[in-house]
């Protein structure tokens, strides 16, 4: 049996770089002096890592601040144009594709409606591929400049084979998806670089992470972020990490049985919370009330 893998100097260097980049990404701009206590790295390590990242074009100076009696301290930040990210939201009524620089400044956006909630998987893949091509063209960004694409979907995501031949598989009863190999379909469409990282997750969970990173959840370690729209979902954050559950279904709040034998839900079951507070359900009940 193979023993535990020993960490090398290269592993340590990569970890130090990631630690500094992460701290500057979420909390920057910061000075070298501030980075030390925030990352638990020595001043020598900070100096070496910052010098490397500046030389690689990943960090840049962002002004200076006065120090206590000494020379002004130079602030550092992640270089916005050193990489690009794309976000895709496969919603109930439309597909949205957005392109960002590395500091999440929006560079381009395209919305494609899904008439009558039509979610044929092949059509959705074509819309996503066309949307990515459009935003990249508008911003004049080469496809190989993308660091990764994040994709939010309405359904349960089985990522157990993510990175393998199949990749992330989506189960979305409300939109008629039964074990749709979305990641493999996107890679097979021929429009994306073969090595481009794709990150597929439930839309409520992606919303929850964004709220924890950049919104009201910043600094919290435990939280529940809820999404009430056409569908109803939640993201449960436990010790800073989204709780997935044994099958990735944690947070499927909308399909919790609220009333036994109650109203018919889009998923086919009866009495789900979504059948009472989802947007379509509210409109239906309003029409019924006259």
Taking the C-alpha atoms of residue 26 and residue 39, their distance in angstroms, rounded to an integer, is 13
Task: Count the alpha carbons within 13 Å of 189 in the hemisphere toward its beta carbon.
Answer: 20
Q: Beta partners for 156? A: 171
Sites in the chain below the pLDDT cut of 70: 1-5, 68-70, 117, 160-165, 246-251
For 9-78, which CATH class?
mainly alpha
Joined tokens for residue 132: 């990515």
Report pLDDT for 131. Answer: 94
> In this structure, what are the phi and psi dihedrals at residue 77, rounded to the nearest 5 degrees?
-145, 165
We find that the CATH architecture of domain 83-205 is 2-Layer Sandwich (3.30)
Joined tokens for residue 152: 């939010």
Report pLDDT for 242. Answer: 83
Taking the C-alpha atoms of residue 259 and residue 86, their distance in angstroms, rounded to an integer, is 40
Taking the C-alpha atoms of residue 216 and residue 36, their distance in angstroms, rounded to an integer, is 26
Joined tokens for residue 93: 């009524």
Neighbours of 217 (CB within 10 A): 20
Burial track 65-93 (b if 16+ CB lie within 10 A, e otherwise): eeeeeeeebebbbbbeebbbbbbbbbbbe
SS (H, E, C) the chain: CCCCCCCCHHHHHHHHHHHHHHHHHHHCCEEHHHHHHHHCCCHHHHHHHHHHHHHCCCEEEEEEECCCCCCCEEEEEECHHHCEEEEEEECCCEEEEEEEECCCCEEEEEEEECHHHCCCHHHHHHHHHHHHHHHHHHHCCCHHHEEEEEEEECCEEECCCCCCCCCCEEEEHHHCEEEECHHHHHHHCCCCCCCCCEEEEEHHHHHHHHHHHHCCCCCCCCEEEEEECCCEEEEEEECCEECCCCCCCCCCHHHCECCCCCCECCCCCECECHHHHCHHHHHHHHHHCC
Report pLDDT for 49. Answer: 93
Are 88 and 128 within 8 A, CB to CB? yes
Q: For the chain, what are the domain ranges? A: 9-78, 83-205, 225-288
Sort 125 into a burial class: Cβ within 10 Å, 0-12 / 13-18 / 19+.
buried
Report pLDDT for 247. Answer: 63
| Strands of 177-180's sheet in order across | 156-158, 169-172, 177-180
Report pLDDT for 215. Answer: 87
pTM: 0.82
Report pLDDT for 164. Answer: 55
Examine domains 9-78 and 83-205 and report if their fold is the same: no
Report pLDDT for 173. Answer: 80
For 225-288, which CATH class?
alpha beta
Contacts of residue 119, defined as CB under 8 A and 6 or more positions apart, other chains included, come to: 90, 172, 175, 176, 177
Report pLDDT for 71. Answer: 78
């Amino acid at each position: 049996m193979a023993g535990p893998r020993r960490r090398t100097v290269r592993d340590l260097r990569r970890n130090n770089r990631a630690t500094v980049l992460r701290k500057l990404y979420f909390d920057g701009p910061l000075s070298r002096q501030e980075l030390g206590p925030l990352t638990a790295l020595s001043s020598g390590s900070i100096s070496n890592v910052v010098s490397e990242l500046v030389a690689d074009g990943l960090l840049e100076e962002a002004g200076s601040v006065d120090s206590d009696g000494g020379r002004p301290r130079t602030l550092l930040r992640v270089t916005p144009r050193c990489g690009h990210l794309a976000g895709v939201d496969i919603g109930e009524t439309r597909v949205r594709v957005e392109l960002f620089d590395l500091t999440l400044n929006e560079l381009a956006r395209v919305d494609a409606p899904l008439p009558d909630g039509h979610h044929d998987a092949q059509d959705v893949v074509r819309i996503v591929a066309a949307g990515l091509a459009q935003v990249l063209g508008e911003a004049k960004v080469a496809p190989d400049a993308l660091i990764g694409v994040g994709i939010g979907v309405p359904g349960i995501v089985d990522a157990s084979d993510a990175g393998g031949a199949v990749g992330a598989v989506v189960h979305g009863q409300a939109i008629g998806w039964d074990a749709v190999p979305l990641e493999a379909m996107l890679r097979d469409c021929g429009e994306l670089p073969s090595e481009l990282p794709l990150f597929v997750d439930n839309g409520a969970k992606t919303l929850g992470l964004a709220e924890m990173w950049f919104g009201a959840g910043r600094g919290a370690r435990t939280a529940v972020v809820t999404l009430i729209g056409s569908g109803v979902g939640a993201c449960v954050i436990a010790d800073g990490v989204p709780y997935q559950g044994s099958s990735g279904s944690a947070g499927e709040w909308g399909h919790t049985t609220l009333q036994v034998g109650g109203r018919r839900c889009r998923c086919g079951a009866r009495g789900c919370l979504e059948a009472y507070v989802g947007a379509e359900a509210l409109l239906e009940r309003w029409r019924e009330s006259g």
